[in-house]
Structure 1
Amino acid sequence: MTTPTLALRDSSTMVRRQLKRLVRYPSMTIQLIVTPVVLLLLFVYVLGGTLGTGLGGGTGGRSAYVNYVVPGILLLAVVTAATGTAVMVATDMTEGIIARFRTMRISRGSVLTGHVVGSVVQQLLGMAALFGIAFAIGFRPNATAVEWLAAVGLLTLFAVAITWLAVALGLRSPTPESASNAPMPLILLPFLGSGFVPTDSMPTALRWFADYQPFTPIMETLRGLLLGTPIANSATLALTWCTAITALSYLWAKKTFTKP
C-alpha cells in the first residue's frame, strides 16, 4: 500500500480507538452535554428576563435572550470538551501507550488524528443535543437550509481548531491533572465577548478586547446565519481565526509529538 493509504488506514484505526473509549466512558460525553445545558437553563430562566430586557430596545425579554445566548453556549460546549481532550492526550503520553505506538510501524500523525476526529464527533453530538434543548425552551432561528449548513460548517471548523489546540496543550502537560487546567482560560472568552451580553454595554478597554478576540466574530457570524442579524466582516474574521488557530496548533502539536 502507498504511504497515504497506510496513513488513512492507521488514522481510521485510531479514530475507532477513540470512539470506543467514548463508549466505554460515557460519563465524559454526558458531562459534555450536561454542563452547557445547565448553563443555558441558568442564563435563560434565572438571568434571561433581566438581560433580555436590554435587547431590542428594551422589548426583548426571555424569549429574545434565548436566541441571543445560544451561540455563546455552543462555543462554550466546544471549550468544555477541549478539557477532556487535553486530559486524554496527556493520559496517553504518561501511561506508556504512546511509547508503544512509536515502536510500531504506524503513521505518527494517526495517533493525534484519532484524538481530534473522535473529539470533534463527540462535540457535534453534544451540540446536536444542545440544539434540541434550546428548541424546547424557545430558540427560534429563521435560517435557510444553506445558512444551517454554513452554521454547522463553522461550528465544525471551530471544533477542529479548539481540539487541535487542546491536543497541543495535552502534549505539553506533564500530568493529566495539569492538562485539565490548561484549557481553562478558553472558558472565559465567551464571557469576555459577545456570548452573553452585547459588547457595546462594556467599558471601552474591555469592549476593545471583546470585539477583537477570536470568539466574538464566530458568535456574531452564527447569529447572523441562524437569526438574520448583520454579519458585516465577522464571517471573514471568524474563518481567519479558525484557520490560524488550527494551523498553529497543528504545527505545535506535531513538533511536540515528534520531539524525542
Structure 2
Amino acid sequence: MTDVLAAEWLKLRTVRSTFVVLAVVGIAMAGTCALAAYGAHTWDGLTASDREHFSLSPLESLFLVVAEMSMAVLGALTIGSEYAGGMIRDTLVAEPRRGRVLFAKAAVVGAVALAVGPACVFATSYLSRAIVGDRPIRAFTDASTHTTGLLLAQSLAVVVAALVGYGLGAALRSTTGAIVSLAGLLHVVPMVVQSLPAPWDRRVNSFTLDSLPGQLAGTGNAYSIYGSALPPAAAAGVMCAYVAAPLALATLRIHRRDA
C-alpha cells in the first residue's frame, strides 16, 4: 500500500493542474484581503449615520466558496484525467487491486486538502481581520463569525469538497461531468431550494454542503441563504455521507466495469 500511495503522490505533485489549482486558491486569498482593505477604506470615509447601515460579510465564507470548488476540481482531475488519457489502464496493470488504487488516490487528495484547507482558511480569516482592525463593521465583527470551531469546520469542508470531487470523478469517469455535477451541487441546488415555501427552504438547505460548517460548529448560518436545522452531530453525519456516497459508487464501478 505504501508503494501505491507514493506513486499517487508522485503523480499529483508532478502535474501542472495541481499548481494551477493551488495558484487559484492563493489568488482567492489575495482577493479576500483586498476586499477587507476596500471595506476598511470605505468605512473610514463614511459618516456616523452611514456606518450604521454599512456591513461586510465574513470574508472567510466568501473565500471558502472558491477554496471548496478549487479543491473539488483538483480531486476530479486526479482521476478524471487518467480516464480521459487512458493512463488508468497502466495504473491498474501496475496495481491490479483496484480498491487500493481508488483509495490511495483518495488518501493523497485528502492529505493535500487537509494541508491546504486549514492553512488557507485560518490565514484568510486572521489577515482580513487584521486589515479591518478594530472597526466595528456590522456582520464582519459578529462574534459568531470568527471562532476557532467555525474555522476548523470550514477547513474540514474544504477536505470534504476535495473528496466529493474525487468521488464524482471516479464514479463518472469524467472530469467535465464531475465539475458540472459539483457546480450544480454547490451553487445551483441551494438557489433552487431557496424557492421552496417556508420552512422547507431552510430545512432542505440545511443539508447542502455549504450549510454544514456553521451547523457543525454550532454557530448557525447567519447572513446566508443556508438553513441551520441540524445539530452538530447530524451535520457531521451528512458530511460523511457526502464523501461516502460517490466513493461507494466509484468502488462499485471500478470493480464491475473495465477501465
Tell me the TM-score range normalised by the shorter chain: 0.5 to 0.7
- Spell out, residue by residue over 1:82-119, the C-alpha distance to the aligned partner (whole angstroms, 9 max, x if none): 12321331111121221112222454233333432333
CA gap of 1:237–1:101, structure 2 versus 1, over 3 A, is same
The correspondence of residues 211-230 of structure 1 with structure 2, limited to 5 A, is 211-222=206-217, 224=219
Shift of 1:76: 4.5
Aligned to 2:31: 38
- Spell out, residue by residue over 1:23-64, the C-alpha distance to the aligned partner (whole angstroms, 9 max, x if none): 785222111332365367558847xx89xxxxxxx96854xx
Q: So what's the TM-score if we normalise by structure 1? A: 0.65
Aligned to 2:9: 16
Distance 1:190 1:122 in 2: 27
Aligned to 1:99: 89
Distance 2:15 2:107 in 1: 12
Distance 1:163 1:206 in 2: 26
- Of the three residues 199, 202, 208, the one matched with 1:207 is 202
Aligned to 2:167: 168
Q: Is the 8 A contact 1:116 1:164 kept in 2?
A: yes
- Of the three residues 119, 131, 135, the one matched with 2:126 is 135
Residue segments in structure 2 that go unaligned for 5+ positions in a row: 44-50, 131-140, 221-227
Distance 1:27 1:165 in 2: 19
CA gap of 1:117–1:97, structure 2 versus 1, over 3 A, is same
CA gap of 1:79–1:176, structure 2 versus 1, over 3 A, is closer
The correspondence of residues 1-260 of structure 1 with structure 2, limited to 5 A, is 7=1, 9-21=2-14, 25-35=18-28, 38=31, 41-42=34-35, 45=38, 61-62=54-55, 65-66=56-57, 68-71=58-61, 73-74=63-64, 76-105=66-95, 107-123=97-113, 124-138=115-129, 148=148, 154-155=153-154, 157-173=156-172, 175-188=174-187, 192=191, 204=198, 205-222=200-217, 224=219, 233-260=230-257
Q: Is the 8 A contact 1:120 1:163 kept in 2?
A: yes
Q: Is the 8 A contact 1:18 1:114 kept in 2?
A: no
- RMSD across aligned C-alpha pairs, in angstroms? 4.2
Deviates more, 1:234-243 or 1:76-85: 76-85
Distance 2:181 2:240 in 1: 21
CA gap of 1:125–1:249, structure 2 versus 1, over 3 A, is same
Deviates more, 1:85-94 or 1:160-169: 160-169
Shift of 1:241: 0.5
Q: Is the 8 A contact 1:76 1:190 kept in 2?
A: no
Distance 1:25 1:245 in 2: 23
- Spell out, residue by residue over 1:174-223, the C-alpha distance to the aligned partner (whole angstroms, 9 max, x if none): 64444432311133179759xxxxx9xx9735334333434323224347
Amino acid at match of 2:186: I
Q: So what's the TM-score if we normalise by structure 2? A: 0.65
Aligned to 2:46: none
Amino acid at match of 1:27: V
Shift of 1:70: 2.1
CA gap of 1:96–1:23, structure 2 versus 1, over 3 A, is closer
Shift of 1:254: 0.9
Amino acid at match of 1:137: S
Shift of 1:18: 4.1
- Indicate the percent of aligned positions where both proteins have the same amino acid: 13
Aligned length: 227
Deviates more, 1:81-90 or 1:206-215: 206-215
Aligned residue for 1:224, secondary structure, equals coil
CA gap of 1:104–1:163, structure 2 versus 1, over 3 A, is same
Q: Is the 8 A contact 2:218 2:231 kept in 1?
A: no
